Chain A
Amino acid sequence: MYRYDEFDAAYVKNRVKNFREQVNRRIDGSLTEDEFKPLRLMNGLYLQLHAYMLRVAIPYGTLNSRQMRTLAMIATKYDKGYGHLTTRQNIQYNWPALKDVPDILDDLADVEMHAIQTSGNCIRNVTADHFAGAAADEIEDPRPTAEIVRQWSTEHPEFLYLPRKFKVAVTGSPNDRAVTKAHDIGLRMLRNNAGEPGYEVIVGGGLGRSPFVGKVVRDFLPKADLLPYLEAILRVYNLQGRRDNKYKARIKILVHETGTDELRAMIEEEFAKMDGPSIALDPSEIERIENYFAPPQFSDLPAESVALSAAKAADAEFATWVDVNTDAHKQSGYTIVTVSAKAIGEAPGDLTTAQMNVIADLAEQYSHDELRISHEQNAILPHVKLDDLPAVHAALVEAGLATANANLISDIIACPGLDYCALATARSIPVAQDIQRRFSDPVRAKAIGEFKIKISGCINACGHHHVGHVGILGLEKAGIENYQITLGGDHTETTAIGDRAGPGFSFEQVGPAIERLVDAYISLRADESERFIDTYRRLGLEPFKAALYNEEKEAA
């Protein structure tokens, strides 16, 4: 993985010093709160309902055990013993004091981490496929690209005061696990007919109040043109994006109001005027960055593990966990383990200090010292030998991290909602907890199969509800929490925005409604291999809507 060179190290350390000064200038009155706010946001610091919140970047979701241990240490030393994994591959601390934040950032800098541009109207932390560098279906590792974009966008002097936040995601696999079509810019790595590497460039995706699936503005962008092309997109957006209405300020609205063809023409015109070589990185620098992401030294192993087969035969619970929480690795004899941060009844994505330390230990011992954080709020051990799965599982069980629910109904994405977030209109976490408890039986959950529930506590849609198979959006209606349900959303390469089912539900009604929905799906599916989303596509909204609103029958 990437290691800081002397420039990175000096910059991040100095940035902490600058932020410390900015905090002091806020306290001594040199900076007003209005002026300080964008500065603190660009350093990851929010003010939430009950306290400050610090959002630490885990660039493209990659970290090592030492970094994870530092995250754990920070949770104990400065916070309340836990952190929250977010849908943008960040970790949030919910209780830091303003005066401690520079110290936290210093501790992070010591392990090559930071909170730079995890908020604010700037280019945010770049995200990538959480199986990057490991997935069997990967064409190319997206992380060097993500790292290049990270470096280019860090304190880019022109793009720190954009109309609104700007999110970039990269995937190197045709099976999109990075939700690239719901980002301001999505980059899909591919090869052209001549076999040269490049990107499909998608612009203007986004969730929030007006959800849009991104539009392709370039079918094939040669790799060398990446930064000049991004710079062209950002310049057009910076100049043309709306600044009169916060809800219309994202690039998706610019694409929508201008038209894809027209906007593409504007981008291409700007791109044509760019002095490309002065913007692109030197090939030698690109190579240097790429080399950091060279695969670890894998052992030569057979595709089948005798030890694993024996352990599975002896322990049904373990066997279920292996089936559900591991994915195909590019290297024979290895697998990708999803460490569920979705234990039944716990807040989705919350990890305690002890759990973070266990995950760090496992990464060090069994996963070439590598970890990923997924936008689905789980941790990933990307390079685990099949032979080691029993040992890994045993340690995870001990730590409460072995819930066999990856991609199942209790693997819910939930934003912090009104339990923490100042922008929230309703709670998310307790809704997720209620649903998890209803589907806590692992046999039932596995029988239901892939079922993506995503919950947001307001229209900002941090919980990606629009692209959940079932999306739940918490709103306020007549002074109480009210939850709108959408169906048929899809976060993959076939991205789709869910359809609104009808009137909202009260807090207490959501769980029973989801139960009715699941029962309807089980009775309607063609066979066990037909996922909820497939059944939905085959039958449409009506039968599911009927089930959702069929309360009277339930009560009778």
Chain B
Amino acid sequence: MPLVTKQGFQPTPEITYVLVEEIGAANQASLAVSVPSDTDAAVLAPHLEKIALIGIDFPSFADGRGFSIALRLRRLGFEGELRARGYLISDQYPHAMACGFDTVEIDDEMAERQPYEQWKAATEKVLPPYRVKRAG
């Protein structure tokens, strides 16, 4: 399973995700938490300190809930890694990054069909004017 990163495709390291409801019981630091797309980001608020990675599910690339969840998590102050998991296409990569994601997990078939150049090219698109003005 390749991981799309700013540096290129990388192999996705083996990670054990815990579920949101398991966080309270888990006592190690640097947790990786798996977040389904119907999660209310607020339930993670008390635990953000001990989370290093949040993987947000995209059941379909046409299901944009993950973008709002990511934004809410960043607004709550989460500074660890946000990873989109499931199904995104390269054209969505810049949108995912704008919403606070760092990485995207894709499958081998997708990596073959949409090689890294396509993901990189997507990040080089000109931003819409409102985004430019807000950023500047």
Contact = CB atoms under 8 A, between A and B. Distances in A.
Complex A–B touching at CB under 8 A: yes
Contact of B67 (A15, A161, A273): A161
A267 to B, nearest CB: 13
B90 to A, nearest CB: 8
A19 B23 CA distance: 43
B63 A282 contact: no
Judged by DSSP, the binding face of B is: helix
Interface residues of B, number: 33
Contacts of A35: 61, 89, 91
A442 interface: no
A22 B92 CA distance: 12
A238 interface: yes
Interface stretch (B8-16, B48-56, B68-76): B68-76
B19 interface: no
B65 interface: yes
Interface residues of A, number: 41
Contact of B64 (A7, A25, A158, A273): A158
Contacts of B127: 11, 155
A159 interface: yes
A550 interface: no
Nearest to A9: B129
B128 A279 contact: no
B126 A10 contact: yes
A30 B64 CA distance: 21
Contact of A157 (B94, B118, B121): B94
A429 B92 CA distance: 38
Interface string B60-98: 011111011101100100000000000001011011101
A25 B118 contact: yes
Contacts of A30: 113-114, 118
B40 to A, nearest CB: 8
A285 interface: yes
A239 B68 contact: yes
B129 A238 contact: no
A14 interface: yes
Given A38-B62, A39-B91, A281-B133, A154 B99 contact: no
Interface string A1-44: 00001011011011100100110010001110001001100000
Contact of B69 (A31, A239, A285): A239
20 contacts: A8-B129, A14-B125, A15-B126, A25-B118, A29-B113, A31-B89, A35-B61, A35-B89, A39-B91, A155-B95, A155-B127, A157-B67, A158-B67, A160-B92, A238-B65, A238-B67, A275-B75, A281-B130, A282-B133, A285-B133
